[in-house]
Amino acid sequence: MARAAAFKFALTSYLLAAALTGTAPAAARGPVHGPAEATVSVSELPRQGRETFELIRQGGPFPYPKDGSVFFNRERLLPPGKRGYWREYTVKTPGSRDRGARRIVCGGPPRLPDACYYTADHYASFRKIVEP
CB 89 within 8 A of CB 81: no
Give me the catalytic one of 37, 44, 88, 131.
88
Give me the catalytic one of 33, 54, 75, 122.
122
Hey, what long-range contacts does 31-38 have (CB within 8 A, 24 or more apart)? Answer: 31/75, 31/76, 31/77, 31/78, 33/78, 33/79, 37/127, 37/128, 38/125, 38/126, 38/127, 38/128
Question: Peptide bond preceding 113: is omega within 30 degrees of 0, i.e. cis?
Answer: no
Distance in angstroms (rounded) separating the CA atoms of residues 115 and 19: 35
Task: Establish whether 37 is a catalytic residue.
Answer: no
Task: Establish whether 122 is a catalytic residue.
Answer: yes
**Residues belonging to the active site:** 88, 122
